[in-house]
Structure 1
Amino acid sequence: MPPRKRILAAGVIAGLAALAVVPAMAQDKTINLKISLWAPPAHPLTPATQAWAADIEKASGGTIKTTVFPSEQLGKAFDHYDMARDGIADVTYVNPGYQPGRFPIIAAGQLPFQFGDAKKGTLALDEWYRKHAPTEMKDTKFCFAFIHDPGTLHGKKKIVVPEDLKGVKVRPAQSTIAEMVKLLGGTNVQASAPESRDALERGVADEIAFPWGSIFLYGIDKVVKYHLDAPLYSTVFTYSMNLNTYNAMSPAQKKVMDDHCTSEWAAKLSGPWNDFEAAGRAKAKALPGHEVYSLTAEQLSQWKTTLEPLRASWADAVKKAGGNPDEIAAELQAAIARHGAGI
């Protein structure tokens, strides 16, 4: 067959194949996905999730309908993993660190001074965790994992060296930071992100571990004065799905979900949030009456050395769960190196 005719024939076949998908999708039973977030509508994650959900609807030919529920409408932030497990929502925004000890493997991503770049770090984290999610989060369908732009300490007191946290009441971002606070002689005050300003305002907490942009989103800037300019930590998150919902889908619908549960989508969905958080650092520096301060090389080294027991503690938790911490940690570091995501 001449080249021109081969090209035309190939085009016709491709067109017929594309048309064949439409009736196949049209025959699928319509599924209505409830997607639950505990972030408010103004949070960058909300419109990004709505765009992700709209793309799912489009790719499914309208057979997968979606509704996004922000602001804890369907349940508290701490409960979002169980909400996906139990079918209270079909897809949920999960902070695994809100439940200390329950998800020890993914907690490797929360160790201090791990990530220097959130976008590259998300690609590394998601790529690494896909091997472990089916075991550690087996009662839900893992969609993807991501991190936010590195967060730090904001508070009423200037925290420069680790010993400055002794006796201080801290709202930790996640379980690893809570362990850090305990290690350094501070007291943990548990509060979800939406509850944090109230805890600081009432004096229940003195310091908070939070990303930069969100201190403005949640009004934290109104109740703190000092900001440590160091990539202290990142928090890991997942989008998790109800297994029954996923299993009830047709093969074509499952493919749509699988195509939207990738490392690339993890980075795309979290990208606007990471840009927002990174911009908050400059905004904080411009605040009158606030102090954004850096660490010397010696002070940074002191932090890293003092916090080394957190790695040993993480390794012990993984061993208890039946994992090999040396192998798991090496895999994560290799992924971080591949993506240039480290500090």
Structure 2
Amino acid sequence: MTFLKTAALAAILGMTATTGIAQDVTLRFQHFVSPNSANPKYFLDPWVEKVETESNGRIKIEVYPFMQLGGKAPAQYDLIKDGVIDGGWVIPGYTPGRFPEAEAMELPFMVTKSAEEASRAAWEFTQKHLMDDFADVHLIAAHMHGPGIVHKTGDAVAKVEDFAGLKLRGPSRPATLLLDKLGAEPIGLPVPQFPEALSKGVVDGGVITWEMSPSLKLDELTDSHTDVAGDKSLYNLYFIWAMNKDSYNALPDDLKAVIDANSGLETSAMAGRAHDTGDRVGRMLMEDAGNEIATLSEVETARIVALGEEVTQDWIAEMTERGLDAVRLVEDARAAVAATRGAAVGTDG
């Protein structure tokens, strides 16, 4: 919860909170991964430092990894909405069906392999279609991670037929729909459960980014890592960084302005750059471990793209039946991606 110390200080000094005394605020943010993962290391930590510096120390942000303040990763949105925490990182796809419009950004081969470009597109799409969905929280950023890679025990997949019967972890509904089309047996798992499932043989592998590979010990738990050809992602995941609305609204105007200055398009792009940096580091570590690094041929990639388009058309039909303008959602997602192509400005880390 937010702790505003002004009232107590004012009482001690016999003054009210409106007499110009600096207001000290402590905000508690939570996420569900290792603090050494790319997003916390290259985005959240610098973001916290920037907010604290620009507030002249009047805002202090405490960051808790691994859901240390309680709850499971799929409950994160409600923990923020209900004020259990002041803010945090949310994967809307962890609650299938709740934020269906966001899935448009996660459809196969929707975004480029630049997480920064994808995150710029995600913010633009969010502004156009998702603000009502997230009306219960105060949105700071919307972003995507880098390209999803197939990590598995044994040899790398080389053709579509190699997916047949593989038990593969999937992070979202669009990703698991694609794995099913490929002939695999998709198993939906949040990130924290993936290593244990691998170690116990519950899954043969899964799809996740390069940047998450080291913190999940995929250099030890898997043998091969396979990407698709081309500049589009096999799959991607949509995230938001958000604050509790009451926590935000309780801030004085000048501290709201600090949060506002560190929200939006460029903050979303900053989060994307963090994942790009993490992907480079993660891939290098998998290579150093001697694991097999593979890229599917253009021919096999084209076969998967075709299956991905089937997933997209199935999704459009399903969402249209639910009353959404699914054709427009897909068109606008593709337009946002096209508009932000080449917009990456640099790297973090």
Q: TM-score range by the shorter chain?
A: 0.7 to 0.9
- Amino acid of the structure 1 residue aligned with 2:34: P
CA distance in 2, matches of 1:173, 1:214: 13
State, as a whole percentage, how many aligned pairs show the same letter. 26
Q: Residue 86 of structure 1 corresponds to which residue in structure 2?
A: 82
* Alignment CA distance shift 1:330-1:189 (3 Å): closer
Alpha-carbon separation, structure 2, partners of 1:81 and 1:112: 24
Matching residue of 1:164: 162
- Residue matched to 1:13: none
For the aligned residues, what is the CA RMSD? 2.4
What is the aligned partner in structure 1 of residue 234 from structure 2?
232
Q: What pairs with 1:144-223 in structure 2 (closer than 5 Å)? A: 144-157=141-154, 158-223=156-221
1:35 to 29, 42, 46: 29
8 Å Cα contact 1:52/1:269 also seen in 2 = no
Gap change, CA 1:261 and 1:86, over 3 Å in 2: same
Which residue identity does 1:205 align to in structure 2?
V
Query: How far off is 1:27 after superposition?
Result: 4.0
Deviates further, 160-169 or 299-308: 160-169
Task: Tell me if the contact between 1:26 and 1:61 (Cα under 8 Å) persists in the aligned partners.
Answer: no
Structure whose alpha-carbon radius of gyration is higher: 1
Structure 1 residue 297 and structure 2 residue 298: aligned? yes
Q: Distance in 1 between matches of 2:19 and 2:118?
A: 35
Aligned to 1:9: none
Q: Which moved more, 1:320-329 or 1:39-48?
A: 320-329
- Which of 110, 133, 137 is residue 136 of structure 1 equivalent to? 133
CA distance in 2, matches of 1:25, 1:337: 51
Offset from partner CA, 1:79-99 (integer Å, 9 cap, x none): 211111111111110111212
Q: Post-superposition shift, 1:155? A: 0.3
2: CA distance between counterparts of 1:153 and 1:305? 18
Report the residue type matching 1:60 in the other structure.
S
Gap regions ≥5 residues in structure 2: 1-16, 344-349
Aligned to 1:257: 259
> Counterpart in 2 of 1:98?
94
In 2, are the aligned partners of 1:166 and 1:186 still within 8 Å (CA)? yes
Task: Name the aligned partner's letter for residue 257 of structure 1.
Answer: I
More helix by share: 1
Report how many residues are paired. 319
Equivalents in 2 of 1:69, 1:245: separation in Å? Answer: 17
Q: Equivalent residue of 1:257, what SS?
A: helix
Contact 2:226 2:294 survives alignment (8 Å): yes
Aligned residue type for 2:93: G
Relative to structure 1, the CA distance from residue 322 to residue 258 in structure 2 (aligned partners, 3 Å threshold; closer, same or farther) is: farther
**Which ranges in structure 1 are unaligned for 5 or more consecutive residues?**
1-22
- Partner SS, residue 235 of structure 2: coil
Partner letter of residue 54 of structure 1? E
1:14: which partner in 2?
A: none
CA distance in 2, matches of 1:32, 1:226: 44
Q: What is the CA–CA distance in structure 2 between the aligned matches of 1:132 and 1:246, rounded to whole Å?
A: 22
Rounded to whole Å, the distance in 2 between the matches of 1:76 and 1:295 is 35
State the Cα distance separating 1:181 from its structure 2 match.
Answer: 2.3
Q: Partners in 2 of 1:120 and 1:254 — Cα distance?
A: 27
Distance 1:66 1:184, change over 3 A: same
Query: Match for residue 313 of structure 1?
Result: 314
Q: Find the aligned partners of 2:186 and 2:30 in 1 and give their Cα distance.
A: 27
CA change 1:25–1:109 in 2 (3 A) is farther
Q: What CA deviation, in whole Å up to 9, does each residue of 1:16-73 have, x standing for no partner?
A: xxxxxxx999546433211111121212322331221232233334333211111221
1:91 and 1:240 in contact (8 A); partners too: yes
* 1:110 and 2:106 correspond: yes
Say which is worse superposed, 302-311 or 173-182, in terms of deviation.
173-182
1:10 corresponds to: none
Matched with 1:62 is 57
Letter in 1 for 2:300: Q
